[in-house]
């Protein structure tokens, strides 16, 4: 269940950060409201995940997976393309999350 909470925290962050871009510096009310609600949900579900998952591991997964999804959404929604070094960096983030999940003994049960 704790990984489900972490997934919800990631989804909330992805929604909030894309709404932040769409809010145009908080000048649009609906995207601004989505930012506030999204981050409230994000931190609530992250708090629940932290009951079991160590904070360093949860944050690494939350940030890493969030970066990957936000990058994909930025490409799809805002037509923001990546250059080769950015793609390599994101691949290394993915690799880091995989290494943590497969080999770390600190991942919560």
pLDDT tens-digit series, residues 81-104: 889 998 899 899 889 888 887 888
29-49 in b/e form (b: 16+ CB < 10 A) is eebbebbeebbebbeebbebb
Q: Is residue 105 very low, low, confident or very high in pLDDT (cuts 50, 70, 90)?
A: confident
Task: Give the global pTM.
Answer: 0.82
Average pLDDT of the residues in 3-16: 96
Taking Cα atoms as reference points, which of 5, 20, 23, 29 lies closest to residue 70?
Answer: 20
CA pair distance 18, 64, nearest whole angstrom: 16
| Highest mean pLDDT out of 11-15, 55-59, 89-93 | 11-15
- Residue given tokens 């609600």 in the structure block: 37
pLDDT tens-digit series, residues 60-81: 889 889 988 998 888 888 888 8
Domains of the chain, residue spans: 2-103
Average pLDDT of the residues in 12-33: 96
């Amino acid at each position: 269940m704790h990984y489900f909470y972490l997934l919800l925290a990631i989804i909330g962050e992805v929604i909030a950060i894309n709404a932040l871009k769409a809010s145009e510096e908080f000048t649009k009310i609906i995207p601004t409201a989505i930012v506030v609600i999204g981050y409230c949900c994000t931190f609530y579900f992250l708090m629940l995940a932290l009951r079991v998952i160590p904070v360093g591991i949860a944050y690494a997964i939350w940030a890493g997976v969030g970066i990957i999804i936000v990058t994909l959404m930025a490409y799809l929604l805002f037509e923001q393309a990546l250059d080769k070094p950015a793609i390599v960096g994101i691949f290394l983030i993915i690799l880091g999350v995989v290494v943590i999940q497969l080999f770390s003994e600190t991942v919560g049960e």
